[in-house]
Amino acid sequence: MMFFIGLPSFAKAPPESESHWSEEAWDNFKSPFTTKGKYILMGGAGLTASLLFFEDQIIDPVQHETVEDKPLGATSKFGDLGGQGVPNAIYAAGMLTYGLLAKNSESLRDASGMLQATTYSFFTTTLLKTTVREPRPYNSHIKTSFPSGHTAAAFAFASYVGCRHSLGWGVAAYSLATFVGFSRMNDDAHYLHDVVAGAAIGGSYGLGVCLAENRRKDVSSWYVSPTAGGVLVGFASDY
């Protein structure tokens, strides 16, 4: 996994939107396929498939070693909390409150964007869990392992923050998301490929929703986009 870093460019004055809220919601829902969020989704899908192909050589040994060593120890409980959407909710509530009090449309946009990215990630992971029905590592009778919902929520938060705010906030958010993903393996709740798939879903929605909103408002912003294949640096002038 690697990072694509788009650099800031000057924003144009946002035009008045004439689209209905349902059209915008649909545009955001399909954003992992219509924006550069697709690179996260495709890269994550490819990596997940590769890991499954080498399940005996990579997934099983990594899972056994991680569970046996438990490198995060008791701190993994913070990863569990972080993956339950707590940072997402705090961010959305904070932006909503400030947006209403200060009459700041950008903050209201951020509250809505985070809520949608999180909700769509939750919907997608839940649908896959009920369809795939992969047994949990710690209990084969519980078939909700693939993909990791905690990781999806954490990466939805990280990629949206990375797209909308400064590089420092993006790095901090991605660090938290990575911690959440690893904590799920540390606690024997998910396999490596579950975590990678969850990161791809959440990451593609966080970035996708942000870029879809940018496209409608005709603005540009820098963003951090984890993909596979190397480190690319460029402008976020297209979506």
Q: Where are the domains of the chain?
A: 2-8+22-235
pLDDT in tens, 2-35: 333 333 333 333 444 456 888 999 999 999 999 9
DSSP state of 239: -
**What is the rounded distance in angstroms from the CA atom of residue 184 to the CA atom of residue 216?**
36
Which residue's entry shows tokens 């490929």? 193
Q: Please, what is the end-to-end C-alpha distance for the chain in angstroms? A: 21
pLDDT of 13 reads 39
pLDDT of 219 reads 66
pLDDT of 100 reads 98
Percent of residues, the chain, with pLDDT higher than 90: 81
Per-residue pLDDT in tens (0 to 9) along the chain, 239 residues: 333 333 333 333 344 445 688 899 999 999 999 999 999 999 999 999 999 999 999 999 999 999 999 999 999 999 999 999 999 999 999 999 999 999 999 999 999 999 999 999 999 999 999 999 999 999 999 999 999 999 999 999 999 999 999 999 999 999 999 999 999 999 999 999 999 999 999 999 999 999 999 998 876 555 554 444 443 433 444 56
* The 232-235 sheet, strands edge to edge: 223-227, 2-7, 232-235
The verdict on domain 2-8+22-235 having CATH code 2.60.40 is: no
pLDDT of 221 reads 55
CB-based contact 128:193 (threshold 8 Å): no
Reference 199, options 47, 23, 18; nearest CA is 47
Residue 64: what residue type?
H
**What is the rounded distance in angstroms from the CA atom of residue 14 to the CA atom of residue 179?**
36
Residue 36: what residue type?
K
